[in-house]
Structure 1
Amino acid sequence: MTIHDRTRPILVGVDGSASAIAATRWAAAEAARHKMPLHIVNVYTWPVSGYPEALIAGHDLLASMKNASAVILDEARTAAESAAPEVAVSVTSHGGDTVAYLRSLSKKSSLLVVGSRGLGGFSGLLLGSVAVGIAAHTECPVIVVRGEPNEGPVVVGVDGSPVSEAAIAFAFEEASALGADLVAVHAWHDSPLVDVFEKGYASLYLDTAAVDAEELLAQRLAGWQEKHPDVSVTRVAPRGRAAKVLMDYAQGARLLVIGSRGRGGFTGLTLGSTSQALIHHAPCPVAVLRSPEDH
């Protein structure tokens, strides 16, 4: 089975923000490329404070929230139909916990697409524990739509872990669907101690590490080119910090694909500084893949 299961819709979470509308357009175009339906969801959450009962009745507030949700969904549907009129679009308004509901829907979705910043029910969605919860526990890949549309390659981070294999598979499918080139990046050894001792044994170590990195990259990509002969692949194994290296190669990219967690240069990708940097600052959309073993 491919990553893009056409029996499952692409799910996009919206909250009325400009970022969410951009994510909706991206998701609609993705659905059109893969001939899949699009499901747009808005989750409204009952406020815990700020609405004194003396000033506003509970049922009036609930009705207001439902109406606001309907307006948000209408705007998103219009954006989706404008971007990809051939795509079947459905919408859902739901009251409750944003993360829990999106996670439940992800079990029957092909992708979950969200904007890079939001408001309302998605306030802070990618600014803390909510993002970690979504990226770490959803049952499908998560796409964080960032930056302006680009015409460059798809970039994938490779580190040799099982989740890296899922990222490679997804990246090849995306590159093929987009008619884009693929750049596979393996960042290796970023220890500051080696910078101090780049002579003698350290120099020999660096030479060996560089060769090992190139061999690992070649091994992990073996067979994928045969499966996707239409995709032109460039392999790069630079020395440097994973976040910095990937950020550099993501300049002008159509999509950056990373694993939710890995080893080596990508250890703790979802929960550590590398993933946070990429989700917050990457100049293009970011796809976060989990290993099939984690599902």
Structure 2
Amino acid sequence: MTSSSDTTRPIVVGVDGSALADAAVLWAAAEADRRGTSLHVVHAFVHLHAVGGYLTVLETADPLEIGGAVCERAARQAREAFPGLTVTTEVRVGRAAPELIKASREATMVVLGARGHGRVTGLLIGSVSQQVAMYAGCPVVVVRGTAERGPVVVGVDGSPASAGALRFAVEHAAATGAAVRAVRAEYVELPMGAPPGDWYSDLVDRSTEATEAARRAVAEAAAEHPAVDIELQVVRRHPEAALVEEAADASLLVVASRGLGGFAGLMLGSVSQGVLSRARATVAVVPGGEEPEHPDDPHVR
């Protein structure tokens, strides 16, 4: 179900003029059109500074003028594909990741290309999409130029965070006519050289309980959306590898930003980051509900 905030808050798409940014624009525009909301196109840049007494000028035109042209080109693409769509543009001065994270505060979702031109001119390098996915206050979709048709694959571990990811996946599938493949990876790692003991049995029990919770969540989602074909696959592999493999034919892979945590956590932030690096499918990272770290965190570059 689409909430009222989904129709009042725009979908933000970051652009840099690259081919994958173009793909992100069209993906975001299609999603905005389905949701009945607007599209907000954002380009961010930083001024070049002299390093070691030297400064190489890569662009002779005004950066604001260049950014405006990049935004207008993207807006034109979106309007041509979806004539009734409301599209706005904005050029921001600042590093791409913090600016897009700030924009996420007032967005339904943020959409990015998987990789852009680079640190100086491109502003949508792979690390930027990972940083935005980690710190954003709304779902982040990282678009790759891959199959538009195929199932929506979602990682589930029985946690409230993965329930949010499942809800996002099912709603997207209902809107696009796709099937949903929920993947539960049962994986309990034994530290090297450590003999199994009561603590290990406890972890196995917790993993089993998490699987049952995942089954219940999938069953509830299927009951709420009877028109959507939803299946659960329980696999005994590391969650990152399992999700990447299961999403080989997917139109979208959905993960929670964080899950249970610890040995049984299986949907950790590190897993979502690994999936972003390895998956060939477009990836949606859904916040787990906890307050994200401050977007001005010094580690966000």
Same fold (TM over 0.5): yes
Counterpart secondary structure, 1:261: coil
Residue 108 of structure 1 corresponds to which residue in structure 2?
106
Residue 79 of structure 2: which of 78, 81, 103 is its match?
81
User: What is the total number of aligned residue pairs between the two structures?
Assistant: 280
Q: Could you list the per-position Cα deviations for residues 5-54 of structure 1 after superposition, in whole angstroms to 9, with x for gaps in the alignment?
A: 11111000001111111111111111111121100010111112369799
Residue 164 of structure 2: which of 145, 149, 166 is its match?
166
Counterpart secondary structure, 2:7: coil
Alignment pair present for 1:220 and 2:217: yes
Structure 1 residues 105, 209: CA separation in 2 closer, same or farther (over 3 Å shift)?
closer
Alignment pair present for 1:233 and 2:234: no
- How far did residue 190 of structure 1 move? 5.1
Residue 277 of structure 2 corresponds to which residue in structure 1?
280
TM-score, normalisation: structure 1:
0.83
Question: Within 1, Cα distance between the matches of 2:259 and 2:125?
Answer: 23
Higher helix share: 1
Please show how residues 1-295 of structure 1 align to structure 2 within 5 Å: 2=2, 5-49=6-50, 64-119=62-117, 120=120, 122-123=122-123, 125-127=125-127, 130-189=128-187, 191=189, 212=209, 214-263=211-260, 264-269=264-269, 272=270, 274-294=271-291
Question: Within 2, Cα distance between the matches of 1:156 and 1:125?
Answer: 25
Letter in 2 for 1:99: A
- How far did residue 192 of structure 1 move? 6.7
Question: Within 1, Cα distance between the matches of 2:107 and 2:14?
Answer: 12
Question: Within 2, Cα distance between the matches of 1:93 and 1:156?
Answer: 34
- How far did residue 211 of structure 1 move? 6.2
Question: Within 2, Cα distance between the matches of 1:21 and 1:221?
Answer: 34
Letter in 2 for 1:247: V
Question: Within 2, Cα distance between the matches of 1:28 and 1:181?
Answer: 22
Q: Tell me if structure 2 keeps the 8 A contact 1:136–1:260.
A: yes
Counterpart secondary structure, 1:294: coil
Q: Could you list the per-position Cα deviations for residues 210-247 of structure 1 after superposition, in whole angstroms to 9, with x for gaps in the alignment?
A: 96565232122242223222111111111101111111
Question: Within 2, Cα distance between the matches of 1:52 and 1:255?
Answer: 47
Question: Within 2, Cα distance between the matches of 1:207 and 1:278?
Answer: 24
TM-score, normalisation: structure 2:
0.82
- How far did residue 151 of structure 1 move? 1.0
Could you tell me the percent identity over the aligned residues? Answer: 35
Residue 200 of structure 1 corresponds to which residue in structure 2?
none
Consecutive unaligned residues in structure 2, runs of 5 or more: 196-200, 293-301
**RMSD of the TM alignment (CA)?**
3.2
Q: Could you list the per-position Cα deviations for residues 263-295 of structure 1 after superposition, in whole angstroms to 9, with x for gaps in the alignment?
A: 3352532xx2x3333112212110001123336
